Structure 1
Amino acid sequence: MAVAKRTSLALPVAPPYDFRRSVEYFDQFAPAAGGTARHRDAVVTGGFAPEPFVARLRADESGLVHARVEWIEEPGDGSAVAERLDSFLSLSDDLSPLYDAAASDPAFARAVADLYGYHHVRFPTPFEAACWAVLSRRTPTLTALRRKRSLAESAGRVVSVDGLRPPRRPASGDVEESPLRLFPTPERVAAASDAVRETLDDDPARAVLGAAAAFESEDLSALSSRSLVARLCEIRGFDPRSATFVARRGFGRTSLLPVRERRLRTAVADLYGLDDATDDDIVRLSDPYGDSRGYWAHYVRAWASLRGDGGGGDGGRDGDD
Structure 2
Amino acid sequence: MAVPKEFSFAENLNYFYNAPNECLYRLQDQKIYKAITVGEETPVIELSGDDPGMITLRFLGDTTPTLTSTKEAVVNYVRDWFDLDRDLLPFYEMAKADPLLNRAVESFYGLRCIGIPNLFEAICWGIIGQQINLTFAYTLKRELVENFGRHVVCEGADYWIFPRAEDIACMTVQDLAPVRMTVKKCEYLIAVAQLITDGRLTKELLLETGDFKKAEKMLLSIRGIGPWTANYVLMRCLRMTSAFPIDDVGLHNSIKYLLQSDRKPTKEEILQLSATWTDWESYATFYLWRFLY
Which TM-score applies when normalising by structure 2? 0.83
Using the alignment, how far apart are the partners of 1:241 and 1:222 within structure 2? Answer: 21
- Aligned twin of 1:116: 109
**CA shift digits 1:167-199 (9 cap, x unpaired):** xxxxxxxxxxxx321113334444xx2388513
Distance of aligned partners of 1:293 and 1:138 in 2 relative to their CA distance in 1, 3 Å threshold? closer
**Cα distance, 1:230 vs structure 2:** 1.5
Q: Does 1:287 align with 2:275?
A: yes
1:236-278 Cα shifts (integer Å, max 9, x gaps): 2111121111111222222122131222122112223444422
Q: Are 2:33 and 2:47, in contact at CA under 8 Å, matched by a contact in 1?
A: yes
Match of 1:232 among 209, 216, 219: 219
For 1:244 and 1:85, the matched residues in 2 are separated by: 22
Residue 163 of structure 1: how far off its partner (Å): 7.8
Question: Which residue type is aligned with residue 205 of structure 1?
Answer: C
Q: Partner of 1:211 in structure 2?
A: 192
Deviations 1:204-239 (A, max 9, x none): 333222222333413233333212221222222111
How far did residue 89 of structure 1 move?
1.2
Instruction: Find the residue that maps to 2:59 and give its secondary structure.
Output: strand
1:35 is aligned to 2:24:
yes
The question of whether the paired residues in 2 share the 8 Å contact of 1:44 and 1:56 is answered with: yes
Unaligned runs of 5+ in 1: 1-9, 165-178, 306-312, 314-321
Residue 180 of structure 1 corresponds to which residue in structure 2? 159
Map of 2:253 onto structure 1: 266
> How far apart are 1:114 and its partner, in Å?
0.8
Distance 1:139 1:186, change over 3 A: same
RMSD of aligned alpha carbons? 2.6
The 1:239–1:101 alpha-carbon spacing in structure 2 relative to 1, beyond 3 Å, is same
Secondary structure of the structure 2 residue equivalent to 1:14: coil
Give the equivalent residue in structure 2 for 1:309: none
Q: Tell me how far apart the structure 1 counterparts of residues 129 and 95 of structure 2 sit (CA, whole Å).
A: 33
Structure 2, unpaired ranges of 5+: none
Aligned residue for 1:160, secondary structure, equals strand
Distance 1:73 1:234 in 2: 41
**Alpha-carbon distance, 1:154 to partner:** 4.2
One-letter code of the match for 1:62? P
Q: Which moved more, 1:64-73 or 1:103-112?
A: 64-73
In the other structure, the counterpart of 1:221 is 207
1:35–1:180: 8 Å Cα contact kept in structure 2?
A: yes
Q: Summarize the Cα distance change of 1:75–1:259 in structure 2 as closer, same or farther, 3 Å threshold.
A: farther
| Distance verdict in 2 for CA 1:197–1:131, change over 3 Å | farther
**Superposition pairs of residues 12-51 of structure 1, within 5 angstroms:** 12-29=2-19, 33-50=22-39, 51=41
What amino acid does structure 1 have at the position aligned with 2:49? Answer: A
Contact 1:189 1:196 in 2 (8 A): no
- The answer to whether the 8 Å contact 2:172/2:190 transfers is no
Q: Percent identity?
A: 24
Match of 1:199 in 2: 176
Q: Secondary structure of 2:190's partner?
A: helix
1:150-165 matches, cutoff 5 A: 150-162=143-155
Distance in 2 of aligned mates of 1:106 and 1:259? 18
Show the counterpart of 1:56: 46
Return the alpha-carbon distance in structure 2 between the equivalents of residues 117 and 43 of structure 1.
17
- Counterpart CA distance in 1 for 2:139 and 2:100 is 38
Change (3 A) 1:235 1:153: same
C-alpha distance in 2, partners of 1:93/1:147? 31
Contact 1:156–1:184 at 8 Å: present in 2 too?
A: yes
The structure showing larger relative contact order (alpha-carbon pairs under 8 Å, at least 6 residues apart) is 1
